[in-house]
């Protein structure tokens, strides 16, 4: 006997399980009319009624009750079989801070996928603590600084270099020729504790600019967007501003005053037991080559 339409079988199974064409339609993301048509086609092919249709509800016939458990088991078996095979595909689980993911990692990931089509990359973002990173089952974790817990390996990725950045529009009719000129501008802080500007001003012994003045933002992206819109001068992390710098949306008014902070350099860490797994090793080699571009 020729197998009936898979869509018709799915429509019947969902409608029978819910005892409702409307709820089946919602589950399958189709219209109620589509469910009704599929069921009708199945009934015509069988030559038997599967539902008793009442004004506001449907009820299974004896034939429908007999068919339902067989189809439910079949669809569960198909789903499990697909999940079992999918689980065999190499997956790489990454944990990263949001700004690094959005601004550096994700824009480059297409290159990895193109060269390693058999590896699926899953990224989780968040402001994590080490216990979460250790217990989360991640293959690789991105963070700042060379230190990592016992049982983990670390690899340098890109440097952390900070310097003031602003929109060129902000400098029309005004200039920032020396650090002291910043006193006349609104400072945009990329951290709520304002430590970004404080560190930079102290490093270059700038005493006539108030590090605590200006506006604070909870995340880097908000401060950078404010800078792009000409609302002030942000302390930019050059590694994460490639797009804005290349497009001219942001400029460095004091290009010779960039501060490299080795303790904040970007690293990738991973459990030693997985460090040389083929999928992890492939990603690390790609990461190392990409960071040099």
State which H helix or E strand residue 71 sits in.
helix 62-88
Name the domain boundary from 41, 56, 88.
88
**Domain assignment present for 1:** no
Q: Say what the pLDDT of residue 18 is.
A: 93
Are residues 281 and 256 part of one domain?
no
Over residues 80-116, the pLDDT tens digits come to 877 666 666 678 999 999 899 999 999 999 999 999 9
Q: Say what the pLDDT of residue 134 is.
A: 77
Are residues 256 and 167 part of one domain?
yes
**Domain assignment present for 283:** yes
Mean pLDDT of 249-275: 94
Over residues 101-154, the pLDDT tens digits come to 999 999 999 999 999 998 999 999 887 777 777 778 899 999 999 998 888 999
**Domain assignment present for 269:** yes
Question: Residue 18 contacts by C-beta under 8 Å, 6 or more apart in sequence?
Answer: 24, 27
Q: How far is CA 25 from each of CA 8, 35, 36, 73, 283, rounded to the nearest angstrom?
A: 12, 6, 9, 20, 42
Domain of residue 149 covers 91-159+264-292
Asked if 199 and 256 count as a contact pair (C-beta separation under 8 A), the reply is: no
Residue 66 has pLDDT above 90, yes or no: yes
Q: Which one, of 101, 233, 213, lies nearest residue 162 by Cα? A: 233
Are residues 225 and 82 part of one domain?
no
| Number of domains into which the chain is organized | 3
Mean pLDDT of 216-220: 87
Are residues 272 and 154 part of one domain?
yes
* DSSP-assigned beta bridge partners for residue 155: 268
């Amino acid at each position: 006997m020729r197998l009936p339409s898979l869509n018709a079988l799915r429509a019947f199974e969902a409608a029978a399980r819910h005892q409702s064409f409307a709820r089946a339609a919602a589950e399958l993301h189709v219209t109620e009319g589509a469910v009704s048509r599929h069921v009708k086609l199945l009934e015509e092919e069988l030559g038997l009624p599967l539902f008793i249709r009442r004004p506001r509800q449907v009820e299974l016939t004896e034939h429908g009750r007999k068919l339902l458990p067989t189809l439910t088991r079949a669809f569960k078996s198909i789903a499990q079989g697909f999940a079992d095979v999918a689980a065999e595909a190499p997956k790489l689980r990454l944990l990263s801070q949001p700004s690094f993911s959005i601004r550096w990692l994700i824009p480059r990931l297409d290159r990895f996928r193109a060269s390693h089509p058999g590896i699926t990359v899953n990224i989780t973002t968040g402001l994590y603590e080490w216990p979460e990173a250790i217990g989360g089952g991640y293959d690789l974790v991105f963070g700042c600084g060379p230190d990592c817990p016992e049982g983990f390996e670390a690899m340098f990725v890109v440097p952390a270099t900070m310097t003031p950045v602003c929109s060129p529009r902000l400098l029309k009719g005004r200039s920032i020729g020396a650090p002291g000129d910043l006193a006349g501008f609104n400072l945009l802080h990329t951290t709520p504790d304002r430590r970004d500007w404080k560190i930079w001003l102290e490093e270059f012994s700038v005493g006539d600019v108030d590090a605590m003045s200006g506006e604070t933002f909870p995340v880097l992206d908000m401060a950078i967007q404010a800078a792009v819109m000409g609302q002030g001068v942000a302390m930019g992390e050059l590694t994460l501003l490639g797009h804005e710098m290349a497009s001219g949306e942001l400029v460095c008014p004091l290009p010779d005053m960039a501060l490299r902070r080795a303790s904040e350099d970007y690293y990738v860490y991973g459990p030693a037991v997985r460090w040389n797994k083929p999928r992890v090793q492939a990603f690390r080699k790609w990461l190392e080559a990409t960071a040099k571009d």
